Amino acid sequence: MMSRVLYLVRHCQATGQDPDAPLTELGKQQAIALAKQLSEAQIQRIVSSPFVRAYESIVPLAEQLNLAIEVDDRLIERVLSSALLEDWRKCLEATFVDLDLCFEGGESSRRAMMRGVAVVNEAMQQATNSTVIVTHGNLMTLILKHFDGRIGYPEWESLQNPDVYRTQTEKGKSQIDRMI
């Protein structure tokens, strides 16, 4: 199998967390800068979360490269809980240790990771060598954790908007590099 390169992208700055929250003015500028950063990477395919902030983050690159954006519902952000959690950060941190921990109305880390990794695995089976996958911070961190079990809450906490990780897989081995 040839080398496969995936660019995992966390969306640019948005006005909120709702699925229809658009990018801020700064987020729109970040999306343009992101397109410039990735324009030389020989991207052949773009897959995005359907959430507006993720989709809008990659439109400038798609337009520049004349590529369609494939929307995949499996890339939506993970719901930690449907209930208001007093200390949601501590709860989130616990889910990186116990992947099966699940709060009321939420999704476990393992379940979220598996749906995100399914998108990654499908991308790696495509004839394309270089794919951009646009998602959200928590899900992106869980996908990265699949590749490297040492990744967890501190990496999530250090994420920026946008953020980009490049994963290169060859002969079953993956190398992960943060680009931003």
pLDDT tens for 13-45 read 999 999 999 999 999 999 999 999 999 999 999
CATH topology of domain 4-178: Rossmann fold (3.40.50)
Closest to 134 in 3D by CA, of 45, 17, 22: 45
Kindly indicate the confidence band of residue 170, based on its pLDDT and cuts at 50, 70 and 90.
confident
- pLDDT, tens only, 122-148: 998 887 789 999 999 999 999 999 989
Distance in angstroms (rounded) separating the CA atoms of residues 139 and 47? 14
Report pTM: 0.94
- CA distances 164 to 123, 129, 132, 144, 180, Å, are 17, 17, 10, 11, 6
Task: Provide the residue ranges of all domains of the chain, joining segments of one domain with +.
Answer: 4-178
